[in-house]
């Protein structure tokens, strides 16, 4: 690793992708240790995954430039390990542009 660096960009990308797929921080830390021999604590994995927060916030605040012919609203439930809920709803707004392309306009996670 380069001086003053604790992890590589490749591993950071892998952590973020695994975390976004719902793999727990402890499972990610175990996988990285088995695959690469690098020890990551669940706290380190959590800190790496927090890099996505500004990107997610920017996505929610982005300006929609296109017009939509039709908008669909849908919900799916995902399992989460929280104190009071076992599953939470993800509300999704999908827009269809006049040319037929679909785009996720926004989403919201709620109990």
Summarize pLDDT for 67-99 with one digit per residue, the tens: 899 999 999 887 766 666 677 788 999 999 999
| Alpha-carbon span 70 to 75, nearest angstrom | 17
What residue ranges do the domains of the chain occupy? 9-60, 64-110
Q: Is the dihedral of CA 98, 90, 26, 53 positive or negative?
A: positive
| 21 pLDDT more than 80 | no
| Phi then psi dihedrals of residue 13, to 5 deg | -60, -40
Strands 102-110 and 70-79 come out as unpaired
- pTM of the complete model: 0.58
The answer to whether 48 and 15 have CB atoms below 8 angstroms apart is: yes
């Amino acid at each position: 690793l380069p001086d003053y660096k604790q992890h590589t960009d490749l591993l950071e990308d892998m952590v973020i992708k695994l975390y976004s797929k719902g793999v727990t921080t402890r499972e990610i830390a175990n996988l990285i240790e088995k695959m690469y021999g690098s020890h990551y604590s669940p706290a380190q994995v959590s800190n790496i995954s927090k890099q996505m927060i500004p990107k997610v916030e920017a996505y929610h605040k982005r300006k929609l430039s296109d017009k939509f012919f039709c908008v669909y609203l849908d919900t799916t439930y995902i399992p989460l390990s929280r104190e009071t809920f076992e599953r939470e709803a993800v509300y999704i707004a999908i827009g269809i542009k006049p040319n037929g392309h679909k785009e996720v306009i926004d989403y919201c996670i709620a109990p």
